[in-house]
Amino acid sequence: MEMEKAVKMFFFPFVGGGHQIPLIDTARVFASHGATSTILTTPSNAPHFHNSITRDQQNGLPITVHTLPADIPDTDMSAGPMVDTSALLEPLRHFLLQHPPDCIVVDMFHRWAGDILHQLRIPRIIFTGNGCFARCVHENIMEHVSLQSLSSDSEPFVVPNLPDAIEMTRSQLPVFMRNPSLFPDRIKQLEENSFGTIINSFHDLEPAYADHIRAELGKKAWLVGPVSLCNRTVADKTERGKPHTIDEQKLLNWLNSKKPNSVLYVSFGSLVRLPSEQLREIAYGLEASDQPFIWVVGNVLNSSKNEENGNGIPEGFEQRMKELDKGLMLRGWAPQLLILGHDAIGGFMTHCGWNSTLEGVCSGVPMITWPLTAEQFSNEKLITKVLRIGVQVGSKEWVMWNTEWKEFVGREKVEFAVKKLMVESEEAKEMRTRVRDIAGKAIRAVEHGGTSYNDAEALIQELKARRLGNQI
């Protein structure tokens, strides 16, 4: 009977889009497998996914949301792992004592959670928000490479002990890798004593690296993605992440007027702020490429909150693009899944965040890679060197989301990359064919009997077996 009883899983996402969105989707995935899923969040974050959870409940899925009384700001990940969420500790402890689950899936940035979960003897499963490839690259560098011995930040080196020959430079690595003392020890401890790791990826995307994590790095991991594929309806795709003010019908009408594969989608995520100088270079490069585009313009570096988003756009540019019917400028949160899934989209200029990378892959859209921060330079290597479904724009320097840039990518490089991807050369056709093949594999991975489906089922069975063992 205990093996038949539904597994009770809690999901504890970090605040903000980059980590919150995929973990919410992960909770929905496990609910679709019959696990009783409860999302633990704050009152200010719960409205961001209220509608999708309500629709799941109406469709009979066993999923709920519990808000912890203490609240913290909606940071949108803007301060990264230094955001202190420990005000949630006592409300979390109280809830877990009253409603003990079979496990809790916790974001790695809740670095304080390890002690309390250990005390309560609740299995914790870690969610890191990145894929297998980047994880292998970073762990092997930290284990085997003396970064201080390199002659300069720009000196290339081959990452040892990987299935492929991957070159990196010190300037492309996160600051905590260059200075390990900046990486909180409690994040390491949170994972070291965990039940394992849930990864938002699928085996056929990075098979050698999924195997490497398990065999060479000795990590217990379940690949259950791409979790974004649980968003099947237009409503789910439109509302995913945050409410937006974009007229979706106007957006779709514009896309419907374009030829298949003719439009470039440009978005750098919700975290990094681009300097005005870089926005101008992007604008002039897009204009010179003569390709239709949708550009999601985020906040500008050092701009006041009272200033309109996109104040670095050259004067007259937006009006020219509108009159020529060449470009559509969006501000604020955009329905990315809806846009990428449209037949008119033929390319994606991206910062290589893992969520965006997966969403581009699942939509069968090749990419122009412009990594900026976090593990994005590693993701670029996966896209361009391993999968060969993208073109590099030429970004070389890892930057913090809110710091001044040392160098910019010029308009000529932007124009060159756009034309290389969007003009139907043999190379571009081959990239398009490869990414569409991977997109098909992504869909099959989450279907009944697929690798991600089976990994989710395997974790549920392990949790049931553990529960049964504890009662003997």
pLDDT digit string (tens) for 176-235? 888 766 665 656 676 778 999 999 999 999 999 999 999 887 889 999 999 999 999 988
Q: What is the predicted pLDDT for the residue at 472?
A: 45
Q: What is the predicted pLDDT for the residue at 6?
A: 93
In-domain check, residue 15: yes
Which two structure tokens, joined as six digits, stand for 352?
């290589």
Count structural domains, the chain.
2
Q: Which residues contact 94 (CB under 8 A, 6 or more apart)?
A: none
Q: Are residues 294 and 371 in the same domain?
A: yes
Q: In the 3-class helix/strand/coil scheme, how is 401-433 assigned residue by residue?
A: CCCCCCCCCCHHHHHHHHHHHHCCCHHHHHHHH
Are 359 and 228 in contact by the 8 Å Cβ rule? The answer is yes
Element (H, E) at 236: helix 234-239
Q: Are residues 129 and 254 in the same domain?
A: no
In-domain check, residue 139: no
Element (H, E) at 459: helix 451-471
Q: Are residues 435 and 412 in the same domain?
A: yes
Q: Are residues 198 and 320 in the same domain?
A: no
Q: Are residues 89 and 40 in the same domain?
A: yes
Are 404 and 376 in contact by the 8 Å Cβ rule? The answer is no
* Torsions phi, psi for 321 (to 5 deg): -65, -35
Q: Are residues 128 and 270 in the same domain?
A: no
Q: Are residues 275 and 390 in the same domain?
A: yes
- 296 vs 353: CA distance, rounded Å: 15
In-domain check, residue 235: no
In-domain check, residue 77: yes
Which two structure tokens, joined as six digits, stand for 464?
């049931």
**Which residue segment(s) compose the domain that 310 sits in?**
243-441
Are 15 and 75 in contact by the 8 Å Cβ rule? The answer is yes
In-domain check, residue 238: no
- 336 vs 215: CA distance, rounded Å: 35
Q: Which residues of the chain have pLDDT under 70?
A: 1-3, 17, 70-83, 180-188, 190, 243-245, 301-311, 401-403, 471-472
Q: Are residues 12 and 123 in the same domain?
A: yes
Rg (CA), the chain: 22
Q: Are residues 390 and 460 in the same domain?
A: no
In-domain check, residue 386: yes
Task: Assign 260 to helix, strand or coil.
Answer: coil
Q: Are residues 326 and 223 in the same domain?
A: no
In-domain check, residue 21: yes
In-domain check, residue 257: yes
Which two structure tokens, joined as six digits, stand for 397?
């320097």
Q: Are residues 220 and 252 in the same domain?
A: no
Name 125's bridge partners. 105, 196
Q: Are residues 428 and 451 in the same domain?
A: no
CATH of the domain at 381: 3.40.50.2000
| Amino acid type, 280 | R
What amino acid positions are annotated as catalytic residues? 19, 107
pTM above 0.85, yes or no: yes
Which two structure tokens, joined as six digits, stand for 459?
């974790």
Q: Which residues contact 325 (CB under 8 A, 6 or more apart)?
A: 257, 292
